[in-house]
Chains A and B, each alone.
Chain A
Amino acid sequence: MDLLKWSKRPAADVEARKPEVNIVRGLIARATTPLLPDDYLHLVNPLWSARELRGRVVEVVRETEDTATVTIRTGWGFPASYKAGQYVGIGLQVGGRWHWRSYSLTSIGDTSDKTIAITVKANPDGFLSTHLVDGVSPGTIIRLAAPKGDFHLPEPLPDSALFLTAGSGITPVMAMLRSLRSRDTVPDIVHVHSAPTRDDVIFLEELEKMDADVLSYDLQLQLTREHGKFDLDQLDAAVPDWRDRQCWACGPVAMLDTVEERYAEEGLRDQLHIERFAIARTDHGGEGGTVTFSKSGKTVEIDGATTLLEAGEEQGIQMPFGCRMGICQTCVVPLAGGYVRDLRSGEERREGERIQTCISSVSGECTLDL
């Protein structure tokens, strides 16, 4: 047993689909030390490394004018299965620099073909999303982070569900729908989806086909340019039994805030599952100021809208990160000194507290041990 542990030791931090692989990897690493065999092999085939998860872009297919589905072949170490609704970290090298964002998986995670898919909306101010939609060509090697997230359907499935989505917020829900369809067990679902026009509805054809084919699935499109925004007061008329349903909601911050408020008022907060796509930084800007990264010996001035994570990465500091939207807690570090502000809640945090760098900005000055 100890011998087994000894064999694996150099590969202890490597994600392997099968644990036995790390025995081989660990043994070979005795000859490649201080590197792993992967560090040599990925020079032969970029996907042959599990030190950092890698993928190759297979194709980019337009869904609407500003969205595209990117299919990616995954390399060694990428988990064989994940839950429909989870998101994945994508790293793309642009101008020599790796940029990271998280996107919902629109593939369903129980196939064995080693490909995943994400659907990305090109955000005018989203540097990476624009690149993924317009600029990434098949064959490009990207980096991946293992799928994460709690926004997925429970096991066993609820008897009835309500999906409230808007815009590109449909992506994790699409994965759930596809997963349910492939298992042939679609519970009673009402799906209210908002988009400006029909042309802007991502997966329109597939949704309408499902609406027609599957009896227990009811799609209600709210075309906001024609009919205005979906008002939650409409719910009683549109979905009379909404209070009995588990609800999954994903969309813009403002919409999620109203939904959350309403559910809280009705005392139904436990029934609501939310995926936030972006952090709302407009309402609660920090004051900005000086950030000191003590281990790296770097100091930088930032404004109140720049997150500590962005500031650190700009300085080339290896910042831990995951979802980059305040969900996953991967980026949490203790605040070694000073004050920061949570850009979502506006709360101020002080020395000694553990903070999420992806949603915090400096308030005056602060120090991180990074």
Chain B
Amino acid sequence: MAITDIDRYAHLTEADIDALGAELDAIRRDIEESRGQRDARYIRRTITVQRSLAAGGRLALMFSNRKSAWIAGTAMLSLAKIIENMELGHNVMHGQWDWMNDPEVHSSSWEWDTTCPSVQWKHSHNFVHHKYTNVVGMDDDVGYGILRVTRDQPWEWWMVGNPVYNLTLGTFFEYGVALHHLETEKLRKKEKSYRQAAKDLRIIGRKVGKQAAKDYLIFPALAGANWKPTIAANFTANIVRNYWAYMVIFCGHFPDGAEKFTVEEYENEDQPRWYLRQMLGSANFRAGPLMRFMSGNLSHQIEHHLFPDLPSNRYEEIGVRVRQLCDKYDLPYTTGSLAHQYFQSFRTIAKLAVPNGMLKATSDDAPETASELRFAVREGMANHFGVDPETGKRRGLRTALRELKNAPVQSAA
């Protein structure tokens, strides 16, 4: 049924939550006050690297009849597309670099190198997804209207194709993102008119046209005799970028431990509880500097969801402080290797192709979703609440989850 009483789920008191909120506010202030020359240089260099890779890749593909040139060109172009979409486009549109006052690197003017029009993305992602994160029925990113990612979503017959839709979405992720704004779920529920959708589609169509013309018409034409390998290379680069972006995003939202929430929870929420929802609803994956960069620092999805508009190059240092807070309040900090996080995401999606009746766990105590009731069904769990009088250590959600895992209980039903 997803989390409704976030205080109880998190094993925190009112005062704890306010204190946690204040500590997160302090992190934001510190970062905001220390933004400067170093950060500006970072984003400028990233732009230089990205555009050099793009130009280099396109140039190499002029000679794509040679295998080495094809491979080098495709690799450079794939990297360029990934960096542009993730570290630049996504983050710039979040306003992470607006503080620089640079009209060329600003959320109001950045158009990213993908088929999704920026103006629609800023609404469906920055606003809908980041405000209503993981609130089932409000956040369209809970399944994007085509996937079942939590058993809180009622099963319908067509969802048997869940794993197939998942892989198709991964392959053509760019187009999935572009069509995201259509809000298919709202269309099905008749909350949005087809006329509005047609209008959105026209805007999407124009951008798709420009992007496709570039990759499948103009550059192949410029390559002359090498037009065929150039088309193949551009197609490959687009698919590589699609898979990578899909992986990173799924690993940030659908591994076990990325909790879901009810509308009721959202309606009774203030800023500290909004923070808490972001912390409990997102997942990280472990990454070194290169992986971090290539994921647009979304290996720090938790930090990104807490502070979507702080510069991405700071998420690593923010992460250190967030982990300290998780230790202090005994909260889980969901992370794991990329493969591990993806495996869990895929397992959930594959499993949820079938109706809940065929699944073992209830939506109060499942890997991908849970509610405060998961602790109530277990006798004596309330004891874990508060500070251990012997060790002086807090016994909170993380301890409770660990014990639940070590001694699983039969569901009440």
- Asked if A and B bind, the verdict is yes
A residues sitting closer than 8 Å to B (CB atoms) are: 30-31, 33-35, 39-40, 43, 51-52, 93, 95-100, 296, 313, 315-318
Say whether chain A's binding surface is mostly helix, strand, loop, or mixed: loop
Min CB distance, A313 to chain B, in Å?
Answer: 6
Report Cα–Cα, A40/B109, bound state, in Å.
17
Chain B residues whose CB sits within 8 angstroms of the CB of A99 once the complex forms: 101
Chain B residues whose CB sits within 8 angstroms of the CB of A96 once the complex forms: 35-41, 99-100
Q: Which of A31, A40, A313 contacts B101 (CB 8 A)?
A: A313
A to B CB contacts below 8 Å, 22 in the list: A30-B214, A31-B222, A33-B214, A34-B111, A34-B113, A35-B113, A39-B104, A43-B48, A43-B52, A93-B100, A95-B37, A96-B35, A96-B39, A96-B41, A97-B100, A97-B101, A98-B102, A296-B95, A313-B101, A316-B100, A317-B98, A318-B109
Min CB distance, A224 to chain B, in Å?
Answer: 38
Min CB distance, A40 to chain B, in Å?
Answer: 5
* Residues of chain B from 76 to 112 with CB closer than 8 A to chain A in the complex: 95, 98-104, 106-109, 111-112
Asked if B329 is at the interface (CB within 8 A of a chain A CB), the reply is no
Min CB distance, B139 to chain A, in Å?
Answer: 17
Q: Are A39 and B51 in contact (CB under 8 A)?
A: yes
Report Cα–Cα, A95/B35, bound state, in Å.
8
Q: Are B36 and A95 in contact (CB under 8 A)?
A: yes
Report Cα–Cα, A96/B41, bound state, in Å.
8
Report Cα–Cα, A43/B46, bound state, in Å.
12
Nearest opposing residue in chain A for B217, CB measure? A30
Min CB distance, A310 to chain B, in Å?
Answer: 11
Report Cα–Cα, A296/B98, bound state, in Å.
11
Asked if B22 is at the interface (CB within 8 A of a chain A CB), the reply is no
Chain A residues whose CB sits within 8 angstroms of the CB of B36 once the complex forms: 95-97
Given A40-B51, A99-B101, CB of A31 within 8 Å of CB of B218: yes
Asked if B187 is at the interface (CB within 8 A of a chain A CB), the reply is no
Report Cα–Cα, A292/B135, bound state, in Å.
27
Question: Number of B residues contacting the other chain (C-beta, 8 Å)?
Answer: 36
Nearest opposing residue in chain A for B113, CB measure? A34
Q: Are A318 and B219 in contact (CB under 8 A)?
A: no
Report Cα–Cα, A52/B106, bound state, in Å.
13
Chain B residues whose CB sits within 8 angstroms of the CB of A34 once the complex forms: 111-113, 210
Nearest opposing residue in chain A for B131, CB measure? A297
Given A34-B112, A34-B113, A95-B36, CB of A51 within 8 Å of CB of B98: no
Report Cα–Cα, A7/B241, bound state, in Å.
30
Nearest opposing residue in chain A for B114, CB measure? A34
Asked if B203 is at the interface (CB within 8 A of a chain A CB), the reply is no
Chain A residues whose CB sits within 8 angstroms of the CB of B222 once the complex forms: 31
Asked if B213 is at the interface (CB within 8 A of a chain A CB), the reply is yes
Asked if B211 is at the interface (CB within 8 A of a chain A CB), the reply is yes
Q: Are B112 and A40 in contact (CB under 8 A)?
A: no
Chain B residues whose CB sits within 8 angstroms of the CB of A93 once the complex forms: 40, 100, 102
Report Cα–Cα, A97/B106, bound state, in Å.
12
The 8 closest A-B pairs by CB, nearest first: A316-B98, A96-B40, A34-B111, A98-B101, A316-B99, A318-B108, A96-B36, A95-B36
B residues sitting closer than 8 Å to A (CB atoms) are: 35-41, 47-48, 51-52, 54-55, 58, 95, 98-104, 106-109, 111-113, 210-211, 213-214, 218-219, 222
Q: Are B213 and A43 in contact (CB under 8 A)?
A: no
Given A96-B38, A318-B98, A318-B106, CB of A31 within 8 Å of CB of B211: no
Chain A residues whose CB sits within 8 angstroms of the CB of B54 once the complex forms: 40
Report Cα–Cα, A122/B312, bound state, in Å.
36
Report Cα–Cα, A29/B89, bound state, in Å.
18
Min CB distance, A225 to chain B, in Å?
Answer: 39
Report Cα–Cα, A43/B36, bound state, in Å.
21
Report Cα–Cα, A99/B107, bound state, in Å.
18
Chain B residues whose CB sits within 8 angstroms of the CB of A51 once the complex forms: 104
Report Cα–Cα, A98/B108, bound state, in Å.
16
Chain A residues whose CB sits within 8 angstroms of the CB of B107 once the complex forms: 318
Report Cα–Cα, A316/B94, bound state, in Å.
12
Q: Are B100 and A33 in contact (CB under 8 A)?
A: no
Report Cα–Cα, A317/B101, bound state, in Å.
7
Chain A residues whose CB sits within 8 angstroms of the CB of B55 once the complex forms: 40
Min CB distance, A31 to chain B, in Å?
Answer: 5
Min CB distance, A59 to chain B, in Å?
Answer: 24
Q: Are A33 and B101 in contact (CB under 8 A)?
A: no
Q: Which of B47, B48, B95, B214 contacts A316 (CB 8 A)?
A: B95
Report Cα–Cα, A34/B112, bound state, in Å.
7
Min CB distance, B258 to chain A, in Å?
Answer: 25
Min CB distance, A155 to chain B, in Å?
Answer: 33
Chain A residues whose CB sits within 8 angstroms of the CB of B98 once the complex forms: 315-318
Given A40-B54, A98-B102, 17 other A-B residues pairs in contact with their CB atoms under 8 A: A30-B213, A30-B214, A31-B218, A31-B219, A33-B211, A34-B210, A40-B55, A93-B102, A95-B36, A96-B40, A98-B101, A296-B95, A313-B101, A315-B98, A317-B98, A318-B106, A318-B108
Report Cα–Cα, A95/B34, bound state, in Å.
10
Q: Are A43 and B99 in contact (CB under 8 A)?
A: no
Chain A residues whose CB sits within 8 angstroms of the CB of B211 once the complex forms: 33
Min CB distance, B13 to chain A, in Å?
Answer: 29
Q: Are A33 and B51 in contact (CB under 8 A)?
A: no
Chain B residues whose CB sits within 8 angstroms of the CB of A52 once the complex forms: 103-104
Report Cα–Cα, A297/B172, bound state, in Å.
32
Report Cα–Cα, A315/B95, bound state, in Å.
10
Q: Kindly name the residue among A40, A99, A318 whose own CB sees the greatest number of chain B CB atoms within 10 A.
A: A318
Chain A residues whose CB sits within 8 angstroms of the CB of B40 once the complex forms: 93, 96-97
Chain B residues whose CB sits within 8 angstroms of the CB of A100 once the complex forms: 101
Report Cα–Cα, A313/B106, bound state, in Å.
12
Chain A residues whose CB sits within 8 angstroms of the CB of B108 once the complex forms: 318
Min CB distance, A35 to chain B, in Å?
Answer: 8
Report Cα–Cα, A98/B36, bound state, in Å.
11
Report Cα–Cα, A96/B48, bound state, in Å.
16
Nearest opposing residue in chain A for B98, CB measure? A316
Chain A residues whose CB sits within 8 angstroms of the CB of B41 once the complex forms: 96
Min CB distance, B203 to chain A, in Å?
Answer: 14
Chain B residues whose CB sits within 8 angstroms of the CB of A98 once the complex forms: 100-102
Min CB distance, A97 to chain B, in Å?
Answer: 6
Report Cα–Cα, A316/B99, bound state, in Å.
4
Chain A residues whose CB sits within 8 angstroms of the CB of B37 once the complex forms: 95-96
Chain A residues whose CB sits within 8 angstroms of the CB of B35 once the complex forms: 96
Chain B residues whose CB sits within 8 angstroms of the CB of A97 once the complex forms: 36, 40, 99-101
Min CB distance, A264 to chain B, in Å?
Answer: 39
Report Cα–Cα, A313/B113, bound state, in Å.
27
Nearest opposing residue in chain B for A98, CB measure? B101
Nearest opposing residue in chain B for A13, CB measure? B109
Report Cα–Cα, A99/B104, bound state, in Å.
14
Nearest opposing residue in chain A for B311, CB measure? A96
Q: Kindly name the residue among A34, A96, A99 whose own CB sees the greatest number of chain B CB atoms within 10 A.
A: A96
Given A96-B38, A96-B39, A296-B95, CB of A318 within 8 Å of CB of B51: no
Chain A residues whose CB sits within 8 angstroms of the CB of B219 once the complex forms: 31
Chain B residues whose CB sits within 8 angstroms of the CB of A33 once the complex forms: 210-211, 213-214
Q: Kindly name the residue among B39, B218, B219 whose own CB sees the greatest number of chain A CB atoms within 10 A.
A: B218
Report Cα–Cα, A30/B58, bound state, in Å.
14
Min CB distance, A154 to chain B, in Å?
Answer: 34
